[in-house]
Amino acid sequence: MKSIKSVFVIYNIEGFDCEGESKKIVATRISDEESIKKEVSHLNKNINSVIMPSENLSNFNYFDYEILDIQEENKYNKNFTFSSTKDENLNKAGLKESLIHNFDRNYEQYSKSEYINKNKTLKEYLEEQFSEFLSGNFYFCDLIEIAKNLKELGLIKSDVSVLFFEKTNENIESILSKKFKVNKK
């Protein structure tokens, strides 16, 4: 017997406020209800910040679904910025969207703030800003590689190449001399 396919929306319940439940849609699917239940269960088990409702908690964060009458894209959209230590693909999807939305702002904040520059390197600052995604087998170099690809696609503006000089055989003097006049002593 064939299962009946319908359009479902998967959403993140972010908690309650004075106006009631706060939801954010993260995906739509054309699927059967059993498959949607499995996907929602997978998200709730694998996203780091999920806190399922209980008697003691009045504020919580988890995923749920409902049936829709309209059809939209069949993939996670720009609102999906959740990290996961158990599912590398979810972690990568969440990090990519988080970088698109936040990398330029964070980079600019670091560039303009002397008090941050005195206490941390740019690498340390960015590791702190995106730390929720840097877990398991996912490292800072992976984050920078994704940022570099997003720069090439024009989705971020910041020059991420400043974070790559450590990997080259060139010394800092030769790198700087490409953009500035350098007096050798």
What residue type is 27 in one-letter code?
A
DSSP 102-133: HHHHHHHHHHH-HHHHHH--HHHHHHHHTGGG
pLDDT tens per residue, range 168-184: 445 566 666 666 766 76
Burial class (CB in 10 A: 0-12, 13-18, 19+), 88: middle
Q: What is the mean pLDDT of the chain?
A: 76
**Under 8 Å between Cβ of 28 and 72:** yes
Please give the distance of CA 40 from its chain centroid, rounded to a whole number: 19
Q: Which of 124, 131, 123 is nearest to 167 (CA)?
A: 123
Phi, psi for 121 (deg, rounded to 5): -80, 165
**Does the pTM of the predicted model rise above 0.75?**
no
> Does pLDDT of 165 surpass 70?
no
Tell me the HSE value of 157 on the side-chain side, using a 13 A CA sphere: 6
> Does pLDDT of 103 surpass 60?
yes
pLDDT attached to residue 89: 75
Mean pLDDT of 138-147: 85
The kind and range of the H/E element at 173 are helix 172-177
Q: Binning pLDDT at 50, 70 and 90, where does residue 63 land?
A: confident
Please give the distance of CA 66 from its chain centroid, rounded to a whole number: 24
Tell me the HSE value of 150 on the side-chain side, using a 13 A CA sphere: 24
